[in-house]
Amino acid sequence: MKRRWLLALCAVAVFAGSLGCRKGGEERLRRGDRLVTATISDPKTFNPLLAVDSASSDAVSEVFEGLVRLNPKTQLPEPMLATSWEHDDAGTTWTFHLREGVTWHDGAPFTADDVAFTFAAVFDQKVPNSAKHVLMVGGQPMRTEVVDPHTIKVMMAEPFAPFLNSVGFDILPRHVLGPALADGTFTQTWGIDTPPEKIIGTGPYRLVRYVPAQLLQYARNPAYWMRDEAGGALPRLAERTSLIVPDQNTMYLKFLDRQLHLYGPRPEEIDDLRKRSEDLEITLDDIGLETGMLFVSFNRNPAHYSKDGKTDPRLAWFTDPKFVRAIAHSFDKQSMIRNTYFGYGEPAVSAISPENTTYYDPNLTPYEYDLEAARRLLDEGGYRDRNGDGIREDVHGNPLEFELSTNAGNQVRERLCSILKEDWTKLGLKVNYRPLDFATLVEKLSTNFDWDAMVMGFTGSIEPHASSNLLRSSGNLHLWQPNQQTPATPWEAEIDRELEAGARELDPRKRVAHYWRIQEILHRELPMIQLVRQRRFIAAKSYLVDFVPTVWGFFEPERIAIRP
What's the pLDDT at 564? 84
Instruction: Give the CA distances from residue 508 to residues 171, 374, 446, in Å, rounded to whole numbers and listed in that order.
Output: 28, 39, 33
In a domain? residue 516: yes
Which neighbouring-strand residues pair with 148?
Answer: 151
101 shares a domain with 47: no
434 shares a domain with 466: yes
Q: Give yes or no for residue 405 having a pLDDT over 50.
A: yes
Of 84 and 241, the one with more pLDDT: 84
Of 477 and 191, the one with more pLDDT: 191
In a domain? residue 44: yes
111-136 burial, b for 16+ CB within 10 Å, e for fewer? bbbbbbbbbbbbbbeebebbbbbbbb
290: DSSP letter: -
How would residue 365 be classed by pLDDT, with cut points 50, 70 and 90?
very high
In percent, the amount of the chain with pLDDT more than 70 equals 95
Sign of CA dihedral 158, 163, 166, 172: positive
Closest CA to 458 of 449, 444, 447, 445: 445
Residues 258 and 30: their CA atoms lie apart, in Å, by 9
Phi/psi at 186 (5° precision): -55, -40
How much is the average pLDDT of 442-451?
88
Instruction: Give the CA distances from residue 217 to residues 116, 240, 540, 562, in Å, rounded to whole numbers and listed in that order.
Output: 30, 6, 21, 18
Lowest mean pLDDT among 103-117, 129-143, 345-359: 129-143
436: DSSP letter: B
The structure's pTM equals 0.78
Q: Nearest 5°: CA angle at 405, between 402 and 409?
A: 155
Cβ neighbours, 10 Å, residue 46: 25
Lowest mean pLDDT among 51-55, 370-374, 537-541: 51-55
How much is the average pLDDT of 33-44?
87
Contact present, 292 and 536 (Cβ < 8 Å): no
Q: Give yes or no for residue 51 having a pLDDT over 70.
A: yes
229 shares a domain with 96: no
Phi/psi at 329 (5° precision): -80, -5
Query: Average pLDDT, whole number, for the chain?
Result: 91
Question: Which of 122, 147, 180 delimits the end of a domain?
Answer: 180
Residues 450 and 48: their CA atoms lie apart, in Å, by 25
What's the pLDDT at 46? 97
Question: Which of 135, 156, 180 delimits the end of a domain?
Answer: 180
In a domain? residue 8: no
Cβ neighbours, 10 Å, residue 539: 24
What's the pLDDT at 27? 58
How much is the average pLDDT of 137-146?
93
- Return the amino acid letter for 117: F
Q: Name every residue whose Cβ is closer than 8 Å to that of residue 443 and which is 6 or more positions away in sequence.
A: none
Lowest mean pLDDT among 21-30, 348-357, 402-411, 536-545: 21-30
Q: Give yes or no for residue 306 having a pLDDT over 60.
A: yes
What's the pLDDT at 325? 98
3-state SS assignment for residue 503: helix
Phi/psi at 286 (5° precision): -85, 110
What's the pLDDT at 506? 82
101: DSSP letter: T
245 shares a domain with 133: no
**112-121 pLDDT tens trace:** 999 999 999 9
In a domain? residue 105: yes
29-38 burial, b for 16+ CB within 10 Å, e for fewer? beeeebbbbb
3-state SS assignment for residue 490: helix
Q: Give yes or no for residue 24 having a pLDDT over 50.
A: no
What's the pLDDT at 28? 59
470 shares a domain with 392: yes
Residues 312 and 321: their CA atoms lie apart, in Å, by 18
How would residue 29 be classed by pLDDT, with cut points 50, 70 and 90?
low
Residues 268 and 362: their CA atoms lie apart, in Å, by 29
Largest Cα–Cα distance in the chain? 79
If one counts the domains in the chain, the total is 3
What's the pLDDT at 466? 84
CATH assignment at residue 374: 3.10.105.10
* Alpha-helix runs per DSSP H in 286-332: 302-305, 313-318, 321-328
3-state SS assignment for residue 240: strand
83 shares a domain with 56: no
How much is the average pLDDT of 496-518?
92
What's the pLDDT at 260? 83
Question: Which of 161, 180, 199 delimits the end of a domain?
Answer: 180
- Return the amino acid letter for 60: V
Q: Give yes or no for residue 3 having a pLDDT over 60.
A: no
How much is the average pLDDT of 122-140?
88
Residues 543 and 564: their CA atoms lie apart, in Å, by 8
Contact present, 13 and 264 (Cβ < 8 Å): yes
First to last CA, the chain: 33
Residues 355 and 551: their CA atoms lie apart, in Å, by 8
Closest CA to 105 of 209, 199, 172, 210: 199
**317-346 pLDDT tens trace:** 999 999 999 999 999 999 999 999 999 999
What's the pLDDT at 258? 87
Which neighbouring-strand residues pair with 103?
Answer: 109
Q: Give yes or no for residue 25 having a pLDDT over 70.
A: no
Lowest mean pLDDT among 20-29, 291-300, 435-444, 450-459: 20-29
Closest CA to 199 of 18, 29, 47, 312: 47
In a domain? residue 281: yes
307 shares a domain with 280: no
Q: Name every residue whose Cβ is closer than 8 Å to that of residue 226 and which is 6 or more positions away in sequence.
A: 204, 234, 235, 558
Q: Give yes or no for residue 13 having a pLDDT over 80.
A: no
Closest CA to 43 of 192, 188, 189: 192
517 shares a domain with 441: yes
DSSP letters for 444-484: IIIII---SEEEEEE---SSGGGGHHHHSTT-TT-TTS-S-
In a domain? residue 5: no
Residues 34 and 475: their CA atoms lie apart, in Å, by 39
What's the pLDDT at 491? 98
Contact present, 454 and 297 (Cβ < 8 Å): yes
Q: Name every residue whose Cβ is closer than 8 Å to that of residue 279 and which is 6 or more positions away in sequence.
A: none
369 shares a domain with 272: no
Q: Give yes or no for residue 11 having a pLDDT over 70.
A: no
In a domain? residue 200: yes
How far, rounded to the nearest angstrom, does the alpha carbon of residue 84 sit from its chain's CA centroid? 28
Domain that holds residue 477: 293-534
498 shares a domain with 414: yes
- Reply yes or no: is the peptide bond before residue 235 cis, omega within 30 of 0: yes
150 shares a domain with 98: yes
284 shares a domain with 325: no
CATH assignment at residue 273: 3.40.190.10
Burial class (CB in 10 A: 0-12, 13-18, 19+), 412: buried
CATH assignment at residue 77: 3.90.76.10
What's the pLDDT at 7? 43
In a domain? residue 1: no
